[in-house]
Structure 1
Amino acid sequence: MGTVLDSHFLALTAIVTVGYQLLFFILTALLKFDKVTDFAGSTNFVIIAILTLVLKGTWHFRQIILTLFVVIWGLRLAGFLLMRNPSVQAVDIIGWILWSIGVIIEAIADQQKLVFKNSPNNRGKWCNVGVWKFSRHPNYFGEILLWWGIFAASAPVLKGAEWLVIVGPIFLTMLLLFVSGIPLLEESADKKFGNMAEYKIYKRTTSPLILLPPVVYGKLPAWFKATFLFELPLYSRNIPQDETSNLHSNLCTV
């Protein structure tokens, strides 16, 4: 995996930490509510642990286990500290975590694609670096996560017709999955790169939405991808029919 600012991600983690803490500082100052400061501190470790694991991209067993330890510790501490405030419920924590992860993924994905597209060496190529190595549309994954996070965090106070706000994240998800998001971008990419063997491998081994290691995604059966991971036939309409059949059959054998 390529470096981000430096080979050990020290600068990136420092920037993410400062930005994350500053965000909660502003929220605390504006809302006159300091109960989320402990949450910000403990979940900061969770975000940094996951972020560096994904960006490093080596997926060694030791790295995964140690990252899991940090995540479990951070989430347990965040939950304990927040639960001291009876107005905060478990679904609040879930919502805040989803929003935090979503906004970070979307921001990183947008920045990485911008840098990729601005490099003359990448003209005529598709973006497959950073988080784009683990998802063909990581920015959309982040956006969907953050809006569902907002809904989850608001759920404890919703009553009666207020529950209709769920239409918002549902509409956004449907729009990105079936209308103007992924389908249009997949169509455009297939037209540009559909005859390239490297692109076919990338598409066959890279999740359309949820971030997953290619070595894992490529080995999953086609029915599982279509049912649970949104690998829809809609996303391969512009690949010749015989190649589309081969693509879906090869999904089971990669």
Structure 2
Amino acid sequence: MGSAASTLLRELALCASVDFALQWVLWALAALLKTERFFDLAGSGTSLLLAHLTLRWGKTKHQRQKIQTWLVTLWGLRLGAFLFLRILRAGHDRRFNYVRGNPRTFFIYWTVQGVWVFLTLLPTMILNLEKHNKPLGMRDYLGWCTWAVGFIMEAVADQQKWNFQRDPANMGKFIQSGLWAYSRHPNYLGEILHWLGLFISASSVFQGAQHICAISPLFVWFMLNNVTGIPVLERQAMKKWGNALAFQQYLKNTPVLWPWKF
């Protein structure tokens, strides 16, 4: 293994140490207070921290690296603030109803968040630590356009649902307007496109084994589609509206994630 590869691995190991140390310290505080209010904020905040730390550690600050870092920053600031305000408004997160009082299970949630942060941010961290550079090209512009579509889609979907739920006339109803008329989970689709776009652009300078960073968008898709996102919300929706004819029609006519049927 060359010295450059060894240095990169050491720096990634340091990133992982920072990542998990933050999650575990914050877990201790959250377990003590029996609260999940800053869980999502901690995840997006850790992503921002690692993106800027690796940009600084890499010392090159090429144009691609700076753009990538600030795209992560825009995503993290918007999503972190939105999720924090949402939980302040709701007072709790249903995902943690049987968890916040169990420190061991709560620890698993915080640890999984550490894994999530590291894997999703891997293309950005490797890009920022990589000394090799290439002129900006079509792959970069394709990646950034994909990121923009995902960022706008997620932000618009989140705001549409926020506005819908704040309207007293919609009490007890489910949203099926705006982007939610084309996908039952457009915010998650936007999240997947966000990380896919960042991988596409960063891959412009990847060499050899660095292409393993494709795990980033694949991991996000798998987790949201099969583990933490869609399955949980679909079960909750079926429990709440499963017997309603309007909801049954919505399920029939609206794709789960992608706004077209395969």
TM-score by length of 1: 0.50
Question: TM-score scaled to structure 2, two decimals?
Answer: 0.48
Q: Name the structure where helix makes up a greater proportion of residues.
A: 2
Q: Kindly indicate whether structure 1 or structure 2 has the higher relative contact order, using CA contacts under 8 Å at least 6 residues apart.
A: 2
